A and B are shown apart, each in its own frame.
Chain A
Amino acid sequence: DQQVKQNSPSLSVQEGRISILNCDYTNSMFDYFLWYKKYPAEGPTFLISISSIKDKNEDGRFTVFLNKSAKHLSLHIVPSQPGDSAVYFCAASDNTDKLIFGTGTRLQVFP
């Protein structure tokens, strides 16, 4: 039972454009959401997070949006850069140190 879903296994975007990565969850007990970025042969790196009491959090080029009623969150990267090419994982937590991850979306930013 996949509680956190990333339905797009891959995404290709031109440099300078917006990248939008989507994530859906099923467990209404989740109250904290995170995005991690992973390069090959490295561990995931924390990118940005959002608490369930907010609907938007912004950090530089990265913005996460949360729609609690739809149980949906998205990560916007503007403008996209070639160095953003990586696998992006969405994760959720129910106020514990246990993270439930999605299966990841491979983003490729081309010139």
Chain B
Amino acid sequence: KAGVTQTPRYLIKTRGQQVTLSCSPISGHRSVSWYQQTPGQGLQFLFEYFSETQRNKGNFPGRFSGRQFSNSRSEMNVSTLELGDSALYLCASSLGKGSYTEAFFGQGTRLTVV
């Protein structure tokens, strides 16, 4: 079956602009999580959506937001981009059951802010 698909793969934006990233989870997976990866910081949790509702949230400013659609596809938006937002943004999907199950990651979107 198809894996997690993230689009676009690469993006270059200017400071102050906004950006929207997209994630299509594995068929049947209802939970979608977003992570930011920067050098030296590992993967940092942004938020998790389940059945169109934000279920968990990390410690990121309000400029970072997301949503999930009825088909479980998710989008992440970053407004008023800053240079420090340059990172690899990873999306992960899982079944989202009560007890934790493994998450499957997409290839990520590499965002560069200039």
Residue ranges of A at the interface with B (Cβ–Cβ < 8 Å): 6, 32, 34, 36, 41-46, 49, 89, 91, 93, 95-104
Q: Which of the residues B41, B48, B105 comes within 8 Å of A43, measured between beta carbons?
A: B105
Question: What residues of B have a CB within 8 angstroms of the CB of A102 in the complex?
Answer: 42
**Residue B78 lies at the interface, judged by CB distance under 8 Å to chain A:** no
The chain B residues found within 8 Å of chain A, CB to CB, are 4, 6, 31, 33, 35, 40-45, 48, 50, 55-56, 58, 90, 92, 94, 96, 98-100, 102-108
Question: Is there an interface contact between A46 and B45, defined as CB atoms closer than 8 Å?
Answer: no
Set of chain B residues within 8 Å of A98, measured between Cβ atoms = 33, 45, 48, 56, 58
Q: Which residues of A contact B6 (CB under 8 A)?
A: 43
Q: Which 8 A-B pairs have the closest CB atoms?
A: A43-B105, A103-B42, A101-B43, A98-B56, A46-B102, A93-B100, A32-B100, A101-B42
Q: Do A44 and B42 contact each other (CB < 8 Å), given the known contacts A95-B99, A97-B94, A98-B48?
A: no
Choice from B40, B42, B56 contacting A96 with Cβ under 8 Å: B56
**Least Cβ–Cβ distance between B39 and chain A, in angstroms:** 9
Cross-chain contact B108 with A43 (CB below 8 angstroms): yes
Number of A-B contacts (CB under 8 A): 67
- Given the interface pairs A97-B96, A99-B103, the reply to whether A44 lies near B33 with Cβ below 8 Å is no
CA distance A72 to B4 in the complex (A): 31
Which of B41, B42, B90 has the largest number of chain A CB atoms within 10 A?
B42
From B45, B90, B96, B98, A100 is in contact (CB under 8 Å) with B45
Enumerate chain A residues within 8 angstroms of B105, measured Cβ to Cβ.
36, 43-45
CA distance A104 to B38 in the complex (A): 11
The reply to whether A104 and B42 contact each other, CB–CB distance below 8 Å, is yes
Flag if A97 contacts B48 (CB, 8 Å): yes
Is A97's CB under 8 angstroms from B33's CB?
yes
Contacts of A91 in B (CB 8 A): 43
8 Å CB contact of B100 from A43, A97, A104: A97
